């Protein structure tokens, strides 16, 4: 699968809340760089992240633009979300809605995603949810 198609499928699976579909596009040793956080490694760790995200947030991505060259890709998009359950270490959730510009960088190996690095403005998100 070409990198641009791979990343497009990844985001389509995200928007469909098809977590298994997303996981199928990753290497087993995927590196996940969490926005303003650390790096987690492995597909089971990524699965746990998706489970937490599904519990705490309802999100859709729009205006997705994918750029790819060789074994690297990037996507820029707008996150339309709702904070539906309190996430550990963050303000209480009361169903707050938010809209954020965001981006993700990818490394691709063997036709699968080997690294996912997410970026968005956390201060903007905190302000939108009333922190």
Task: Output the CA torsion sign for 36, 42, 45, 51.
Answer: positive
Which helix (H) or strand (E) element contains residue 101?
A: strand 96-109
Residue 62: strand, helix, or coil: strand
pLDDT in tens, 82-96: 999 999 999 999 999
pLDDT in tens, 17-36: 999 999 999 999 999 999 88
**What pLDDT sits at residue 97?**
97
So what's the pLDDT on residue 1? Answer: 82
Nearest by Cα to 117 from 54, 56, 72: 72
Cα separation, 88 vs 13, whole angstroms: 25
- Residue 36: its pLDDT value, please? 83
| Domains detected in the chain | 3-128 (3.10.450.50)
């Amino acid at each position: 699968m070409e990198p641009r198609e791979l990343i497009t499928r990844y985001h389509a699976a995200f928007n469909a809340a098809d977590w298994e579909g997303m996981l199928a596009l990753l290497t087993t040793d995927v590196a996940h760089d969490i926005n303003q956080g650390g790096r987690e490694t492995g597909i089971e760790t990524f699965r746990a992240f998706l489970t937490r995200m599904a519990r705490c947030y309802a999100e859709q991505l729009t205006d997705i633009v994918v750029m790819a060259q060789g074994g690297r890709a990037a996507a820029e998009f707008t996150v339309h979300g709702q904070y539906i359950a309190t996430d550990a270490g963050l303000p209480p959730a009361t169903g707050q809605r938010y809209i954020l510009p965001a981006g993700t960088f990818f490394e691709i190996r063997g036709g699968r995603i080997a690294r996912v690095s997410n970026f968005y403005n956390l201060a903007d998100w905190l302000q939108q949810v009333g922190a």
